[in-house]
Amino acid sequence: MSAKKHPPVSKSKDKPNFTALTHQVVLDSPEPLPFDEVLWRVNALAPIATKNPENTIRGAVGQSRLIVATGDGRYGWKPRVINGSSLRVTLSDTHLARQAIGFGYEVRDALWPSFFEIQLREDRAPVHLQLPTGAVTHAPLEHLGDMKWGTTGSPELWQWLKTLNPAAGDHLIFRVLDGEARRYGVEYQPRASRDENVIAERNEAILQAALAYFRRRKSGAAIWDICAHLLSTGQYKHPIPPDPLSEIWTEEVWGTELEKKGYRGGWMLASASGTDSLVKELFGQTANLYDDENPQDLPGEYQPGPGRRPRPSREAQQGEARTFICRVKHKGFPKVWRDIEIAEDQTLEDLHLIIQEAFEWDDDHLYSFFMSGKAWDGRTEIGAPWAETDQHTHQVVIGSLDLQPTRKFLYLFDYGDGHEFDVEVMAINSAAPSGDYPRIVGEKGKAPPQYPDFDE
């Protein structure tokens, strides 16, 4: 997002858009601002007539991925705050063979700081990449498969890199030159030229900062939120970048933190799969080794992409079927509901997908069902195919859940924003007619927004 491009501001004289105004205030300030100053400047643009003006602006700040806390009580514009950061990518044989560079969370966050923003403020356009030769090329953000993001770069990038005879284990170093103008520099560093002592110090500094942030939060933190915090508080503003966070935030580190917290929180950690011995030691059970980045048993209908959809019930296609009618309510909008009928041979993944369809939301975040009805109850959690949970939605059929009328459980969508839905079994039809399931059979009220403004 360029420095001159403001988020749209409501033209309504009756109800200003305080979320947009808050973004405008922070964007317009060359330096980060204390919260009270943000509040004062927004109020100067449009008097905040809500019941609690402070909460109105805190809500606007809290829902934003572009307004960030800088660690000193101030809030700044993320693409500007991260200027001067340096980040490292370790090249692999796959990178070099495919001519596609995979990014760690921190590199993706630095190059595309609005990655997690709502569509209104999201910008995933190619970045301007300055080579050591002085040439400027472009790098698009691309999904490389297996839930990984990166770039295939450009012919100029690979021509330059080829002259250096890179090998697996060597590095690319990305520097944020001007985040608002989307200008970045890239350098090459052979493995042999690393200053191991300095990098070890940098690794330790990053690790301690990540641990401090993780421990301050009651429920821990997702690795992408840890990356955003480290970038926003200047942890990468050193000419020698640490190793990629995925090489520092290891299973040994987060396993210990989980043990201290006393609950299963694997969804919020680095993507490496747990080992059988560690999971057994931490949680008293044998691990089912499962590749959450690339689930081997995921049917084609569930694969990410535009064709993702529920799988039809085989039982209902052949004749009568046993079905469950479930009422789904967002906890924040209890008067709004959707009734869904689903067959017993369908899965919780089918239920997730039909809920997304019923509320007309974008299926763009992780999710879990908690059969106890309590969020983050690891004992009863059944997570998305890509979640680090013991059970996964595509492996659990509805008929195996022993559901009875009036039974309630919880559907949580988007681990960051934490949308919670109550799912209540309203009725069971033991001989539903042949047809297409799951399906929406009733509704009340306008669907709540997936990305609401917090003006009120």
Tens of pLDDT, residues 282-320:
333 343 466 777 787 888 899 887 789 999 999 998 899
Q: Is the pLDDT assigned to residue 4 strictly greater than 50? A: no
pTM for this structure?
0.61
Q: Is the pLDDT assigned to residue 121 strictly greater than 70? A: yes
Span 45-71, average pLDDT? 87
- 185 pairs with which residues across the strands? 130, 175
Q: What confidence tier does 323 reach under pLDDT thresholds 50, 70, 90? A: very high
More confident site: 268 or 69: 69
Q: Is the pLDDT assigned to residue 2 strictly greater than 60? A: no
Tens of pLDDT, residues 413-436:
988 778 999 999 999 999 999 999
Span 207-227, average pLDDT? 81
